[in-house]
Structure 1
């Protein structure tokens, strides 16, 4: 695959980004395009490694290694290198319903397990994936799929995030009559309101795919929360099967003194407010303008909060992470092909540094108390440094005496992850939940404790990656089709 010894001839390259001080003035995507010749050179770096790990999609040490949807990466890299774009597109679509999403927002565990990455920077898989699908749209190769024959089966999918959309796409292609319920005012779930527009454009990318699915026959129902606006009983009566793809939307809270002060928000509430304002042309209900912002949480959502705060014109932004600062290179206890736990400067930190002069992240920091004025408005946050010590086979953060300090804050954004799905609908449907409140359904089978009710995505597995959501949506569609028809041809 690729050019023989191409990995020795060409260095890794990725598209240039618009300069930070330029791109923070708008909400447009910030990646530039690469010339075709440069893309073909990147495809040429795929090294015919014999046993590619890039598409394995397995869990190692609790982290994803390789692509969970098993993209045929070496094959489409080779097609790109040779200039066979149509063939590259066809190979890409065999495993991935939405490469325009994963090519933009997936953290690329495929690159973390690339064999070339043992000795050199890995192949630029994620970028090539994105360019293939965008080239296909430009050439008119992406067309509504014609369903040869419709069954009389009706399937309801609750939730329109990546798992729900992937499940709907597959079941529609199998000929079933699919209805997707979304409680928000727009379809897309996490894709629409959980990821900022500068990372994933809503009109030109997300809505483009939704419009295509509507043309193919999928019915979307918005502003309808199943369990409130549409009863669980009615759902079970009117549909032959139900797939729950509601996500893990219950945010992790911060249990410290002063949590009740005004000015503390969950990250997803903040990001939703911002994106909705951008799409509607309004002012956001939660606005960081002229505020001293502190983001608690060092993951992708925290980074999105940093970048959004900068665009809204915050006075300052600090990002706190309780974990230690990652190393520059892989450590002995983090060998290939595990996901590399190394430090990276993401777009949000780059933008904050351009505005403020330094990286906004601070590591090994624990929140002790939130401060407020006499009117209950947030004024600051008391923190301290922590040291991680091992007790009874578990690593525990212990405060370091004498490191206490106060950071001014008018707004705090909690980006500390999620605890599982919201339980109202699950209790109405009487589906069993596991110890961590996730819907109880075995991977590979996806059936819940209730007849004809299936579950997929974060609601079943817990907070995870978009590629795992697509993996589960596709697989749950296959098992739902088998339940409805007695057999299935879905992959």
Structure 2
């Protein structure tokens, strides 16, 4: 694959970034993709390794050596065909996937991995520019109707696959635009929403119907889950009107921090904050947007959602941004012989961190502190303590308590489960983590205990990656097709 000696001749080339002082002034994408010749050279680095671990490191099992070789040989049109054969939306993953495939790259054992993600990014951008991405409507209709609940990556992937084999697919989305957390969870500076919009148009041309602002079932009173629905449809109606129903919502129930002062004004879940800026960027008007202008911001949670809060806060004009992580700071470089080809634990610095952020590790928050007098009920500070970890147990360090000023705190500690009320209204059994219980066996895979109701994506698997959601949606589509038709030509 690639050039036989390419990995010895060429160094890894990273995609470029626009300068920090420029990119923080707007919400546009700032990654500078590889040029055609650069991508060709990076494709040449792919080794003829015999056993490409990258294929299994990738949740959708992209045929990575093949498209690397095609790019090296300047056969871009076949490269996008290979890429699309396993991944419906490489423009999403080419921008926001953490690239577990690169961690599994054979070259990564003792060198820099092949830049798989940057090559994927280059392939799909070239394909759109050349007009190679076209609707693929089914030649024949089956007469079967499928409802897909949720329009995130799992729902979109499943809907597209099912429409292409002739089923009439309707996607239901509780928010006012399709895309799920791709639309309202990921900031525009990481992925502009025009990429979603043109896929939606492609899918409409393939026969998919989108019904936005429609809530399937009811959210519990007081739920913090983003919901701009103006219409409600009952689960019973869906089961009566459709031949199959696929639940493909997200794991949207955020992990809370129930400590003193949690109800103070200024303490918010990340997903109360991030969707609002995306709506503003889309041209909407909000009466009371949560903004970080002139505020001291603390983000609790060290993952991607926390990083997104950092980047958004900096763009809004926060005076300072600090990110807390409960666990110790990981090593800057992993022990490759010990962990390869698995995803390594190591310090990861995001583009948002580079834009301005203090990072605190092994720190816990004990209390949110409000102001006095006119400032009563408003967040003014928080009390923290340092922690130590031993044998998987956390202990507080005596005498390490601090009080830090804070005007705004975002809780970005992950998501614990899908919204339980939706599953309960469908009558779907839940697993120990509160997710929809549905196995992935080849026979009857992704089917729940409720007849003709399936589940895929974060609602079944739990909080995970966009690329894993795409995989789940594709595999569930095959199971739904097999259920409806007896057999299926869709890939597993």
Superposed pair shares fold, TM > 0.5: yes
The answer to whether 1:110 aligns with 2:107 is no
Matched residue of 1:110: which SS?
helix
The answer to whether 1:236 aligns with 2:236 is no
Picking from 260, 263, 267, the partner of 1:257 is: 260
The residue that corresponds to 1:389 in the other structure is 390
The residue that corresponds to 1:266 in the other structure is 269
The residue that corresponds to 1:60 in the other structure is none
Pairs within 5 Å for 1:342-491: 342-352=346-356, 359-374=357-372, 375-390=376-391, 395-444=392-441, 445-491=445-491
Q: Deviations over 1:148-171 (max 9, x none)?
A: 001111000000000000000110
Q: Deviations over 1:248-271 (max 9, x none)?
A: 000000011111111111111211
Pairs within 5 Å for 1:280-295: 280=283, 282=285, 285-295=289-299
The residue that corresponds to 2:116 in the other structure is 125
The residue that corresponds to 2:198 in the other structure is 208
Matched residue of 2:233: which SS?
coil
Verify the 8 A CA contact 2:33 2:121 in the aligned structure 1: no
Normalization by structure 2: what TM-score?
0.94
Does the C-alpha gap of structure 1 residues 333 and 264 become closer, same or farther in structure 2, counting only changes over 3 Å?
A: farther
The residue that corresponds to 1:219 in the other structure is 209
What is the distance in 2 between the residues matched to 1:323 and 1:317? 19
Q: Deviations over 1:440-487 (max 9, x none)?
A: 100231010100000000100111111110111000000000010111
Verify the 8 A CA contact 2:137 2:207 in the aligned structure 1: no
Verify the 8 A CA contact 1:200 1:206 in the aligned structure 2: no
Deviation, structure 1 residue 146: 2.5
Deviation, structure 1 residue 332: 7.3
Matched residue of 1:55: which SS?
helix
Verify the 8 A CA contact 2:147 2:244 in the aligned structure 1: yes
Q: Deviations over 1:287-331 (max 9, x none)?
A: 111111000000011000000000001111100000111102113
What is the distance in 2 between the residues matched to 1:40 and 1:342? 29
Deviation, structure 1 residue 333: 8.8
Matched residue of 1:280: which SS?
coil
Gaps of 5+ in 2: 219-231
What is the distance in 1 between the residues matched to 2:322 and 2:337? 30
Verify the 8 A CA contact 1:252 1:419 in the aligned structure 2: yes
Deviation, structure 1 residue 14: 1.5
What is the distance in 2 between the residues matched to 1:281 and 1:16? 31
Matched residue of 1:225: which SS?
strand
The answer to whether 1:303 aligns with 2:290 is no
Pairwise CA RMSD: 1.1
The residue that corresponds to 1:173 in the other structure is 164
Matched residue of 1:247: which SS?
coil
What is the distance in 1 between the residues matched to 2:337 and 2:411? 30
Matched residue of 1:3: which SS?
coil
The answer to whether 1:83 aligns with 2:74 is yes
Matched residue of 1:54: which SS?
helix
The residue that corresponds to 2:221 in the other structure is none
Verify the 8 A CA contact 1:334 1:341 in the aligned structure 2: no
Q: Deviations over 1:317-371 (max 9, x none)?
A: 100000111102113795211112111211110001xxxxxx4211001111111
The residue that corresponds to 2:222 in the other structure is none
The residue that corresponds to 1:40 in the other structure is 40
Deviation, structure 1 residue 428: 1.3
Deviation, structure 1 residue 182: 0.2
Q: Deviations over 1:16-51 (max 9, x none)?
A: 100111100011001113221111110000011110
Normalization by structure 1: what TM-score?
0.94
What is the distance in 2 between the residues matched to 1:423 and 1:410? 32
What is the distance in 1 between the residues matched to 2:337 and 2:400? 29
Matched residue of 1:260: which SS?
coil
Deviation larger for 455-464 or 420-429: 420-429
The answer to whether 1:323 aligns with 2:327 is yes
What is the distance in 1 between the residues matched to 2:282 and 2:329? 36
Matched residues, number: 471
What is the distance in 1 between the residues matched to 2:258 and 2:415? 14
Does the C-alpha gap of structure 1 residues 467 and 480 become closer, same or farther in structure 2, counting only changes over 3 Å?
A: same
Pairs within 5 Å for 1:188-203: 188-203=179-194
Q: Deviations over 1:382-419 (max 9, x none)?
A: 111100022xxxx1211101111111111100000011
